[in-house]
Amino acid sequence: MIAAPGRLSPQSRFGAVPPTISDLEIVPVSLDRPYATPGVFKVYFSFHNIDTSNYSLVTGPKRAIGQLRSQLGVFVSATDGVLQHSLSTFRIGADGKILFREDGSDWLPEHFLQQLKTS
């Protein structure tokens, strides 16, 4: 999942994962390292009472994040100091292969959860 705190509202509902799906890990990738830091995510999650026991925030050096964005097809531009980016959410299997991809921010967590239950 490529995410920024302000764009996590659909994703944050994953906090209510059914107990039958015990191995789901949510991995937001911070594109805007100077601002979307683990501390910023922690405040956001705390404010919205989101259970983060199955969350792992990923960030890294600018070049590495840029390479990951390119590989996943996430586009970024900066206008007047504001970072604009596309959003993609992935289901990645235990073997590291992409099993499902949803582009945009209007997807529903229930769709992903249903897909998990049927596979």
In a domain, 118, yes or no: no
Per-residue pLDDT tens over the stretch 19-48? 556 677 778 777 766 777 778 888 888 888
Give the C-alpha separation, 66 to 77, whole Å: 12
Whether 96 contacts 29, CB under 8 Å: no
In a domain, 117, yes or no: no
Domain extent, residue 52, equals 2-110
Per-residue pLDDT tens over the stretch 49-94? 877 888 888 888 889 888 888 888 888 888 887 777 787 888 888 8
In a domain, 60, yes or no: yes
Give the C-alpha separation, 50 to 42, whole Å: 9
Tally of structural domains, the chain = 1
- Residue 37: which CATH number? 3.40.30.10
Its pTM stands at 0.62
Give the C-alpha separation, 1 to 11, whole Å: 9
Is the sign of the CA dihedral 34, 37, 43, 45 positive or negative? positive
In a domain, 84, yes or no: yes
Query: Which of left, alpha, beta for 63 (phi over 0: left; psi -120 to 50: alpha)?
Result: alpha
